[in-house]
C-alpha cells in the first residue's frame, strides 16, 4: 500500500517502529550476554522488559485506532542489530566490547527516540489524542535508557578500556 496521506504515513511509521521494537526484543538478550559489566548487562535486560511493554503499547495504539499494521521490516534497525552482532563477533569480551555495545545501543535509542517523536507529531496532527499518552510513555522510556547508557559509558567501562590500552602501549615502547 503506497503512502499517500498523513494517515498512511502514520501507519507506515507505526509499522516500522513495531518492527524495530520486535527486532530489539531478540537482540537485547544477546547484548546482555556479551556484556562483561554486570550493570550494563542488567541495563540491557531491564530495557528488554521495557521494550516488550513498548510492543504492547503499539498493539494498544492499533486497537484504539482500529488499524492493521503493515508487514514490513525496519531496515534501519536491521542494520543497527547487524552492527551490534559484528561488534560482538569482532571484539573480545571485556571493557572495549562493553564500550562498543553502549555506543551501538545509544544509536538504537536515538533512532527509536526519533521514531516516537515522529509518531507523536503525526498523531497530534491527525487528532489521535487517545494514543498520545502511549506514544509519549515509550518516548520517555527510550530517553531514560539513552541517558542511563550515557552514564554507564562515562563510568568505569571506558576508563578501564583506556587503562588497558595505556598498559599495552607502554609495553610496546
pLDDT, one tens digit per residue, over 15-65 is 999 999 999 999 999 999 999 999 999 999 999 999 999 999 999 999 999
Output 41 or 160, whichever has higher pLDDT.
41
CB 17 within 8 A of CB 115: yes
82-111 burial: b if 16+ Cβ within 10 Å, else e: eebeebbeeeeeebbbbbbbbebbbbbbeb
Question: What is the pLDDT at residue 173?
Answer: 52
Mean pLDDT on 113-120: 98
Of the candidates 102, 114, 104, which has an alpha carbon nearest to the alpha carbon of residue 43?
102
Amino acid at each position: 500500500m503506497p503512502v499517500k496521506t498523513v494517515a498512511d504515513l502514520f501507519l507506515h511509521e507505526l509499522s516500522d517502529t513495531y518492527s524495530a521494537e520486535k527486532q530489539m526484543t531478540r537482540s537485547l538478550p544477546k547484548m546482555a550476554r556479551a556484556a562483561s559489566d554486570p550493570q550494563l548487562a542488567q541495563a540491557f535486560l531491564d530495557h528488554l522488559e521495557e521494550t516488550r511493554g513498548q510492543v504492547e503499547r503499539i498493539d494498544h495504539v492499533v486497537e484504539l485506532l482500529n488499524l492493521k499494521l503493515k508487514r514490513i521490516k525496519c531496515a534501519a534497525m536491521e542494520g543497527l542489530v547487524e552492527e551490534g552482532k559484528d561488534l560482538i563477533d569482532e571484539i573480545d569480551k571485556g571493557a572495549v566490547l562493553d564500550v562498543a555495545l553502549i555506543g551501538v545501543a545509544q544509536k538504537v535509542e536515538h533512532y527509536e527516540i526519533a521514531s516516537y517523536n515522529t509518531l507523536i507529531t503525526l498523531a497530534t496532527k491527525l487528532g489521535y489524542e487517545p494514543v498520545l499518552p502511549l506514544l509519549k510513555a515509550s518516548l520517555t522510556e527510550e530517553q531514560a535508557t539513552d541517558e542511563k547508557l550515557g552514564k554507564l559509558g562515562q563510568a568505569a567501562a571506558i576508563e578501564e578500556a583506556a587503562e588497558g590500552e595505556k598498559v599495552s602501549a607502554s609495553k610496546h615502547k
